[in-house]
Amino acid sequence: MMNRRTFIGALAGGLVIARSVAEAQPAAKVYRIGYLSSGTAEPLRVLNEELRDLGFVEGRNFVVELRYAAGRLERLPDLAAELVGLRVDVIVAVSNPVIAAAKRATTTIPIVMFTAADPVGNGFIASLARPGGNITGVTIDASPEIFAKNLGLLTEIVPKLSRVGVIRQVEAIGLAELAAAARTRNIVLDVVDVRSPDDFEDAFVSVSGKRVGAVILMGALFFTRRQQVADLALKYRLPAMHLLKEYAQAGLLMTNGPNLPDLQRQTARYVAKILGGAKPADLPVEQPTKFELVINMKTAKALGLTIPQSLLLRADEVIQ
């Protein structure tokens, strides 16, 4: 039988051994995730929640290095270089100009695209199925039919629609598909390109002067200024739409397209796989899987528009 003194000695010895073993174990790796955007700070709540579900908790086993260009695309090369200099483990690149800057900055650090547009055509990857190189991720590209569908939605709201303004970021895709849909409906498109948020009001002035009946917005540059864009559409009394419902929540008349939180969750899964050792070249690029139609009734009333009941019944969300 072990006496008290022997027990205490054994316990103390065991604690010393346990402590020595613990000290010999390497510290758990804390990953660095670079997040690069052309806009301003946007909450990463959904992305972080999905990472947490996958075993990655901010502050415990990863930290985020945030870099934002605030709409000044000329800053992107320097911001991308900063992240490379920090030797981050992966870069999440938001939208095409950002992806291009990150691609130029590194050929070795994995890059996860978030809301990429036509990544094959823009030379970011070799193909969706086999991206190759150090880039993979999520594209915002919906099927080409969505542009025809969105133009059709506008014709349901605006009687005898014959002229539509298109305000687009220069890198935005979908203009060819939209133009083809417009021709079948005998609708004239007036296209205005924007390169920075400073161009937004001039663009609305331009299309308003051409007496367009509605506006379609194309590109990611508008996202962090969506409240400004919604206010401008109302100021110039133009029914306007974009793909993402966050614009309708800001006051735009209507949106129809991919679900952004779902795209964030898809992006988080790529990040987790790469931190777990997967190679970007082996991870096929994903396209959107969830779409939604959102109508802002408050904006419709302010513009004096009547939304057909048939359209309201098809909407996934109606903002009152």
Say which CATH number the domain at 210 has: 3.40.50.2300
Task: Find the helix or strand (DSSP H, E) in which 314 lies.
Answer: helix 309-314
Q: Is there a domain that residue 199 lies in?
A: yes
Same domain, 221 and 278: no
Same domain for 202 and 58: no
- Work out the angle at residue 87's Cα, subtended by the Cα atoms of residues 85 and 93, and round it to the nearest 5 degrees: 85
174 or 109: which carries more pLDDT confidence? 109
Task: Give pLDDT, residue 1.
Answer: 47
Q: How many domains does the chain have?
A: 2
Same domain, 37 and 88: yes
Q: Specify whether 44 is located in the same domain as 70.
A: yes
70 or 55: which leads in pLDDT: 55
Task: Label residue 3 by pLDDT band (50, 70, 90).
Answer: low
Same domain flag for 45 and 104:
yes
If asked whether residues 117 and 189 sit together in one domain, one would say: no
Distance between CA 118 and CA 112 in Å, rounded?
Answer: 15
111-161 residue pLDDT tens: 999 988 889 988 999 999 999 999 999 998 766 678 889 999 999 999 899
Residues 183 and 217 in one domain: yes
For residues 307 and 192, membership in a common domain is answered with: yes
Of the candidates 168, 171, 176, the one whose C-alpha atom is nearest the C-alpha of residue 144 is 176
- Enclosing domain of residue 78: 31-141+260-282
Do 267 and 247 share a structural domain?
Answer: no
> How does DSSP classify residue 319?
E
| Torsion region of 262: left, alpha or beta (phi above 0 gives left; psi -120 to 50 gives alpha) | alpha
Asked whether residue 254 falls in the same domain as residue 265, the answer is no
What's residue 41's pLDDT? 65
Say yes or no: 112 and 251 in one domain: no
Is the domain of 133 the same as that of 272?
A: yes
Q: Name the token pair of 135.
A: 């880039």
- DSSP codes of every residue in 208-263: HHTT-SEEEEESSTTGGGHHHHHHHHHHTT--EEESSHHHHHHT-SEEEEE-HHHH
